[in-house]
């Protein structure tokens, strides 16, 4: 591997890492040399995932906590830094979806989506940046979405939260750059993950994806991996405040 993309010696926390895009990113980061700290809410699943990475000779640890629990976040991040001696990167990936027409969308469900998708990355970044500032720098990568600049019926909370993630990313990039902390986001298009199982099994929706996306297919989870490695590596040493779309061309087609 080119030294530009090597993550040797880096300690990186990935939230929502037990499945889907989070797992794909975590696996790639570990393969690139990072000590990856997997986060999710199920300790047993995380333990199994960490063992799978270690079985390949890669560095892995697990830290189970709910990203929407502010007290848990404020305990976990310093604990990770103390256990590993530092914290070089954070990928704030954990997210939820809720589909309902506006007239049927409960306020509590809107708040739950925003708390997970937007408030949690804010809290995670705040706590991680404290550690990173003391050690002279670090990288934060948020998971945004093509459903930030775009819109789609029945997912108003998701669209609002992911648009907020992109704006939060830009704001934090400006604020944290003087402390040596770079903040970027990855905006996935339609990927065949567990969260989208109902959609991938819907033949009509899959035909829509094939028509709407220039590459004419769903994304595969492993295809998000390179973006995560790039933004965490020295290859992205002058990149901050950027939202990197990984969407098969969906957002550039009229």
| Strands annotated E in 65-219 | 89-92, 138-143, 181-188
Residue tagged active-site, from 65, 110, 158, 230: 158
158 assigned to active site: yes
The arrangement of strands across the sheet holding 59-64 comes to 59-64, 35-40, 11-14, 89-92, 138-143, 181-188, 243-246
Phi, psi of 179 (to 5 degrees): -95, 10
Q: How far, in Å, CA of 208 to CA of 250, rounded?
A: 12
Structure tokens at 101: 């027409």
177: DSSP letter: G
Q: How far, in Å, CA of 118 to CA of 164, rounded?
A: 6
Catalytic positions: 158
């Amino acid at each position: 591997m080119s030294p530009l993309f090597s993550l040797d010696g880096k300690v990186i926390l990935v939230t929502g890492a037990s499945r889907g895009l989070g797992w794909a990113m975590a696996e790639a980061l570990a393969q690139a040399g990072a000590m990856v700290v997997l986060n999710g809410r199920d300790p047993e699943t995380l333990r199994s995932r960490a063992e799978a990475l270690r079985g390949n000779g890669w560095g892995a640890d697990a830290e189970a906590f709910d990203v929407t629990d502010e007290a848990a976040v404020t305990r976990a991040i310093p604990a990770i830094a103390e256990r590993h001696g530092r914290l070089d990167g954070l990928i704030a990936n954990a997210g939820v979806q809720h589909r309902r027409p506006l007239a049927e969308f409960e306020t509590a469900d809107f708040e739950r989506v925003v708390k997970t998708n937007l408030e949690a990355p804010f809290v995670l970044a705040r706590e991680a940046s404290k550690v990173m500032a003391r050690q002279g720098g670090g990288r934060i990568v948020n998971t945004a979405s093509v459903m930030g600049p775009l819109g789609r019926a029945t997912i108003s909370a998701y669209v609002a939260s992911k648009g907020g993630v992109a704006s939060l990313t830009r704001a934090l990039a400006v604020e944290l750059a003087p402390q040596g902390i770079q903040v970027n986001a990855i905006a996935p298009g339609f990927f065949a993950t567990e969260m989208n199982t109902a959609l991938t099994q819907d033949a009509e929706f899959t035909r829509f994806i094939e028509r709407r996306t220039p590459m004419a297919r769903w994304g595969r989870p492993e295809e998000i991996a390179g973006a995560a490695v790039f933004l965490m590596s020295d290859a992205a040493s002058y990149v901050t405040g950027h939202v990197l779309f990984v969407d098969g061309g969906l957002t550039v087609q009229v």
